[in-house]
Amino acid sequence: MTAPVLCLASASPRRRALLASIGVPVTVHPCDIDETLQVGESAQAYVQRLAVAKAEAAAPFTHLPILGSDTAVVVDGRILGKPANAEEGAEMLRLLSGRCHEVLTAVAISGPEGMLSSCVTTQVTMREISADEIVAYWRTGEPADKAGGYAIQGLAAIFVKQIQGSHSAVVGLPLYETTHLLCRQGVPIWQRV
């Protein structure tokens, strides 16, 4: 097992798995930050601000480069966070059903080159989702901690008709852009993880 070369400022098992898939061993230090949307803040500015804030919040705890990331699902200009309960989860899936929405994922990496960041927007088109499917999906437990109330890499894959953009960004980390930023910060990829 290779020693960590990056600090992941997130408890997301999906982000950790994505980094492992490109051979980047990490240490995990999730940071609690205020995720309140600011008045007049766009979805892109919001996810970029949170990604940077997470990376900055972990700085006192490590000497390694730090990766912060945030994902938002946006429909009709409305940012859909993680559903608080079954009713909110069902409302989100009804909003997404049969239409296209955006998934924005920002990544920020602090290191020798300062704070580097990128934001990726992916278009996701959902098929019509029945009321029974929405209830059954919530009962699986999968959507409870996911932005927009669904996981494209999980059971909700059957709802996704089409994506235009980065699949890994919808999962939680745009690997193409992340790798570019990691290389600029001198973080090696393709290590044994």
Domain count, the chain: 1
- CATH number for position 153: 3.90.950.10
pLDDT tens for each residue of 89-148: 999 999 999 999 999 999 999 999 999 999 999 999 999 999 999 999 999 999 998 999
Task: Please check whether residue 126 lies inside any domain of the structure.
Answer: yes
pLDDT tens for each residue of 149-187: 999 999 999 999 999 999 999 999 999 999 999 999 999
Residue of 32, 34, 70, 145 marked catalytic: 70
Closest CA to 108 of 97, 99, 116: 116
Task: Please check whether residue 19 lies inside any domain of the structure.
Answer: yes
Annotated active-site residue 70? The verdict is yes
Task: Please check whether residue 102 lies inside any domain of the structure.
Answer: yes
Range of the domain at 114: 6-184
CA atoms of 43 and 99, how far apart (whole Å): 19
Compute the half-sphere exposure of residue 160: CA atoms within 13 Å on the CB side of its CA: 20
Task: Please check whether residue 193 lies inside any domain of the structure.
Answer: no
Share of the chain above pLDDT 70, in %: 99
